[in-house]
Amino acid sequence: MPVGTAGSVKAVPQDMLESLGAQIILGNTYHLYLRPGHEAVRRMGGLHRFMSWRRALLTDSGGFQVFSLNELRKVSEEGVRFRSHLDGSSHFFSPEHSIEVQIALGADIIMAFDECTEYPADRNRAEESLRFTMAWARRSLDHFRAHKHEVPWHQSEAGVGSDEPRTQSLFGIVQGGMYRDLRRQCAEQLVAMDFDGYAIGGLSVGEPRELTLQMISEVLPLLPANKPRYVMGVGYPDEIEMYARLGVDMMDCVLPTRAARHALLFTSEGRLNIKNKQFAEDQSPPDPACDCPVCRRYTRAYLRHLVQAGEPLAATLNSIHNLAFYLGIMQRVRASLQAEC
């Protein structure tokens, strides 16, 4: 899933995302809550309509940003008090509030409010953090079940050809730090609560990749295979391919777009820092094996020039290629898994 933090996958127009084959993109609850505000988005009919995105949308719970962007946050059983990174104003997120905000935003998939355990965390800290996550998962689910019909598109789009009004799906998030037994315990309890899908969070937070893989391998078999299984915040191209082959259905990562804005291209020949002088007159496409709109039309020399000249088109073209590269990996994995069936 390309990441569209503030209602836009940075530098890439929506029609381009469609033509690249993006089926779902992610919005960040924390950012959209602060600006333009979830009530404004609700009044405008939800995030789909606001940003003109007709395909699927997922919002995170806001938890990750509250923890990563706020050094002065205060966590209690009740929830988290934090300061806006925009203007320093004080805000409070509880599980109920996170779900309320996410219902207002109206994404197709929303996430339980969790605490993303930092790395490294000792056993006591990981256990304490997990207690919050588990209590909050329960409260997220209860609040969601009581209020899910408040989704802004419920009135207008629900029930066409169906007896059941269409609502959002709520996913639970497995935490537990880097402790296998805590992870297992969390997964089993969440599955017992019967979420619509399950995510594995708290990974790609600085731990070695072996540990990431270990945690995923531990948890994945415990999650029902007939529901979506989502690993949050990963990863490099080889990682997403490996995890997909292990049975992970969904992943999100800012890497393809963020790296693009820093002139880093992912290609079939490895990573290119397109800013390097060696590309100054390189008239080959960014990735000779890629047939994205950028590789079909532009040269490495031109992309390098755009970066050097500080042209805004650099971010757009580099992001389009990197997203095409990531989406291409997933398309190939899907095809290969289907062939095995």
Token representation of residue 65:
């940003």
Our finding on whether 82 is near its own copies (CB under 8 A) is no
Our finding on whether 50 is near its own copies (CB under 8 A) is yes
Choose the catalytic residue: 114, 122, 163, 252.
252
- How many CB atoms are located within 10 Å of the residue 235 CB? 19
Q: Candidates 25, 26, 51, 290: give the one binding its own copies (CB under 8 A).
A: 51
Our finding on whether 52 is near its own copies (CB under 8 A) is yes
How many residues line the site for its own copies (CB under 8 A)?
A: 37
Our finding on whether 44 is near its own copies (CB under 8 A) is yes
Chain residues 244-303 in contact with its own copies, contact rule CB under 8 A: 280-281, 283, 293, 297-299, 301-302
Please, which residue, 43 or 166, has the CB nearer to its own copies?
43
Supply the minimum distance, in Å, between the C-beta of residue 254 and its own copies: 14
Report the Cα 321 to chain-centroid distance in Å: 19
Site string for its own copies, 294-313 (x = CB under 8 A): ---xxx-xx--xx-xx-xxx
- Give burial (CB, 10 Å; 0-12/13-18/19+) of 320: buried
**Catalytic residue at 60?**
yes
| Gap between the Cα atoms of 215 and 196, Å rounded | 21
| Gap between the Cα atoms of 212 and 110, Å rounded | 23
Supply the minimum distance, in Å, between the C-beta of residue 305 and its own copies: 5
| Gap between the Cα atoms of 207 and 293, Å rounded | 36
Please, which residue, 97 or 304, has the CB nearer to its own copies?
304
Alpha helices in 59-179 (DSSP H): 63-68, 95-105, 123-147, 154-157
Supply the minimum distance, in Å, between the C-beta of residue 41 and its own copies: 9
Pairing status of strand 56-59 against strand 24-27: parallel
Rg of the chain (C-alpha set) = 20
Site string for its own copies, 3-42 (x = CB under 8 A): ---xxx-xxxxxx---------------x---xx---x--
- Give burial (CB, 10 Å; 0-12/13-18/19+) of 142: middle
Choose the catalytic residue: 60, 108, 114, 287.
60
Q: In what order do the strands lie in the sheet with 56-59?
A: 24-27, 56-59, 109-111, 169-174, 197-200, 229-231, 250-251
* Binding positions for its own copies, rule: CB under 8 A: 6-8, 10-15, 31, 35-36, 40, 43-44, 50-52, 280-281, 283, 293, 297-299, 301-302, 305-306, 308-309, 311-313, 315-317
Residues serving a catalytic function are 60, 252
